[in-house]
Amino acid sequence: MLDEQRTGLVDYQMLIGGEWVEAADGSKMKSENPYKGTDWASVPDGAEADVDAAVAAARSALNGEWGALSARDRGKLMRRLGDLIAERAEHLASVESTDNGKLYKEMLAQAKYLPEWLYYFAGAADKIGGDVIPSERPNFHIYTRHEPIGVVGAITPWNSPILLLGFKLAPALAAGCTLVVKPSEHTPVSTLEFAKLFEEAGFPPGVFNVVTGGPAAGAALSSHPGINKIGFTGSDATGRKVLQAGAENFTRVTLELGGKSPNIVFDDADLEAAANGVIAGVFGATGQTCMAGSRLLVQKSVKEELLQRVAKRARTIVMGDPMSAETEMGPMATRPQFEKVMGMLARARDAGAEIVTGGDASPNHDGFFIQPTIVDASENTDLEVVRDEVFGPVLSVLTFETEEEAIEIANDTRFGLAAGIWTQSGQRGTRVAHKVRAGTVWINAYRVVAPNVPFGGFGHSGIGRENGFDAIRAYTETKSVWTELTGATRDPFSIG
């Protein structure tokens, strides 16, 4: 636990080329504990010069000791890193909970699961093989290689910093890349604590670099000509800026962006299970997850019964200290996000939305607490809270009568990250899953991920996929090699 750190300001440095350093201009910024609403840590406020130094260090490692390692030896280092994460999971979770206000038990579960990403991709590192391609020309032997794409810039969010870093880190290391990480300015500390494990695990200096800072650091990383690939998790608005910045240098990108994911409940569903899934899908993590099931689509014949179950449970959710085992929902992770969600709820009320429960800040807590909120939008489907990602504990309720209508409503969004389907008919569940435009669909479940299962979205929910073996290919370039076998003199003006 970090009781001693909660009582005073803890000072951190950032990691560049294996050295812990301050920002080039000496600037610092503070990180706020959202439960207490007070500053608890100080970190460097990096900018362009620091990104330049980190990219140079990453390039040096790529062309040096790290680049010379065999894939098997990279895998060994990754497994050692996974072991260290498992050993320090409680500490990492405590730091993360202090920094972003999410439940310690949730952060601990994530920290304990994170090593599986390192183990899975470590096992894949020496299995990134190319192909021998049959040639129509008998005098050529043709094969492909998958080579590291180069230096990767990873820009990570404030809701689950080190787990979502792992989605990028593990396949990038397996592919042989080096990284420069820019964590959210709101939650930089757990990434800095995580960075301490790399030297202990035996990684060469410069393989993993962390530049803390605000938007200036993120913009410098996105537009840096020395970055070969950007992996970004965040909003679609910021993702668009990252994409535009990278386009100037033809930087490859993977974007895991927002969602407005539907939980679709049919009249034959187990309503108790569905209610639990809806609650976990939107109020778990205080709604601060890209895959939040923030739209409940319920068949009209069971709307009242299901809504009664969900509202009753929402009113009993225990809010409080994220470090307490009894707490079920913590505060919003940042002051700006708290203000954003409160503004959206105020505008929903002004538009005549029916607030079933919640709808305001919690009167019983300091910090950035918002009541679990349910908005019945069945008569007003154009509300902002229905159309846009809230990223808070707000559930919008919509109704449908037929399967076709449910699919139409589910797909009526610019997003397409995830969806849940609740039915006791396996045929219906599969049929609807195939027609809903979403990168991940759960049937009678919600919010489950694994390192070997691809994750990403359609539309404004992003570009590319993280996780799964194919994610490694996103961190490689494919090279085709033609070897002429006969040595015969060829016409220099012919092809083939």
Q: Tokens representing 28?
A: 């610092």
pLDDT at residue 69, rounded to an integer: 98
Is there a single domain that holds both residue 279 and residue 142? Answer: no
pLDDT tens, residue by residue, 480-496: 999 999 986 667 776 65
From edge to edge, which strands make up the β-sheet containing 132-133?
Answer: 132-133, 140-148, 476-484
Place of tokens 């593990």: 170
Residue span of the structural domain in which 274 resides: 262-443
Q: For residue 226, what is the domain's CATH number?
A: 3.40.605.10
Residue 472 near residue 171 (C-beta atoms within 8 A): yes
* Domain assignment of residue 251, yes or no: yes
CB 482 within 8 A of CB 495: no
pLDDT for the residue 496: 59
- The C-alpha torsion from 400 through 401 and 407 to 409, rounded to 10°, is -30
461 and 372 assigned to the same domain:
no
State the DSSP H helix or E strand holding residue 307, giving kind and residue range, or none if neither. Answer: helix 303-314
Residue 139 phi/psi, 5° resolution?
-90, 10
Q: Could you tell me if residue 128 is inside a domain?
A: yes
Judgement on whether residues 182 and 117 belong to the same structural domain of the protein: yes
Asked if residue 76 is part of any domain, the answer here is yes
Residue 409 CA to residue 400 CA, distance in Å, equals 8
Does 488 map to a domain?
no
Residue with tokens 């969600």: 341
Residue 19 β-bridge partners: 16
Q: Which 8-state DSSP code applies to residue 367?
A: S
Residues 191, 213: one domain? yes
| 191 and 143 assigned to the same domain | yes
Domain total for the chain? 2
Q: What are the distances in angstroms from CA 10 to CA 21, 33, 75, 193, 294?
A: 15, 12, 34, 12, 36
Asked if 215 and 297 sit in the same domain, the reply is no
Tokens of 42: 């100080």
CA distance linking residue 78 with residue 72, whole number of Å: 10
Residues acting as catalytic residues: 256, 290
User: Across 269-347, where does the E strand assignment appear?
Assistant: 295-299
Helix (H) or strand (E) holding 293: none
In Å, what is the CA distance from 294 to each residue of 74, 182, 200, 266, 386? 40, 28, 41, 17, 8
Does the residue 492 lie in any domain? no
* CATH code where residue 412 lies: 3.40.309.10
Asked whether residue 451 is assigned to any structural domain, the reply reads no
In a domain, 333, yes or no: yes
CA neighbor of 259 nearest in space, from 236, 276, 243 = 236
Q: How far is CA 46 from CA 15, 160, 199, 401, in A?
A: 11, 21, 22, 54
Same domain? For 273 and 418 the reply is yes
Q: Are residues 226 and 245 in the same domain?
A: yes
Examine residue 494 and state whether it is found in any structural domain, yes or no.
Answer: no
3-state SS, one letter per residue, for 52-102: HHHHHHHHHHHHCHHHHCCHHHHHHHHHHHHHHHHHCHHHHHHHHHHHHCC
Pair 291, 323 in one domain: yes
Please state the φ and ψ torsions of residue 34, each to the nearest 5 degrees.
Answer: -70, -20
Closest CA to 287 of 365, 384, 178, 395: 395
What b-and-e string marks burial along 66-75, b requiring 16 or more CB atoms within 10 Å of the CB?
bbebebeebb
pLDDT at 1: 39
Whether residue 215 is found in the same domain as residue 309: no
289 with 418, same domain: the answer is yes
**Residue written as tokens 């739209």?**
295
Q: What is the pLDDT of residues 349-374, one digit of tens each?
A: 999 999 999 999 998 888 899 999 99
Q: How far is the C-alpha of 221 from the C-alpha of 288, rounded, in Å?
A: 25
pLDDT by residue, tens only, the chain of 496 residues: 344 444 469 999 999 999 999 999 999 999 999 999 999 999 999 999 999 999 999 999 999 999 999 999 999 999 999 999 999 999 999 999 999 999 999 999 999 999 999 999 999 999 999 999 999 999 999 999 999 999 999 999 999 999 999 999 999 999 999 999 999 999 999 999 999 999 999 999 999 999 999 999 999 999 999 999 999 999 999 999 999 999 999 999 999 999 999 999 999 999 999 999 999 999 999 999 999 999 999 999 999 999 999 999 999 999 999 999 999 999 999 999 999 999 999 999 999 999 999 999 998 888 899 999 999 999 889 999 999 999 999 999 999 999 999 999 999 999 999 999 999 999 999 999 999 999 999 999 999 999 999 999 999 999 999 999 989 999 999 999 999 999 866 677 766 5
The token pair at 347 is 């505008």
Burial 330-365 (b: 16+ CB within 10 A, else e): bbbbbeebbeebbebbeebeeeebebbbbbebbeeb
Asked if 259 and 390 touch (Cβ cutoff 8 Å), the reply is: no
Spell out the SS3 assignment of 88-133: CHHHHHHHHHHHHCCCHHHHHHHHHHCHHHHHHHHHHHHHCCCCEE
- For residues 30 and 143, membership in a common domain is answered with yes
**Spatial separation of the C-alpha atoms in residues 260 and 297, rounded to whole Å:** 12
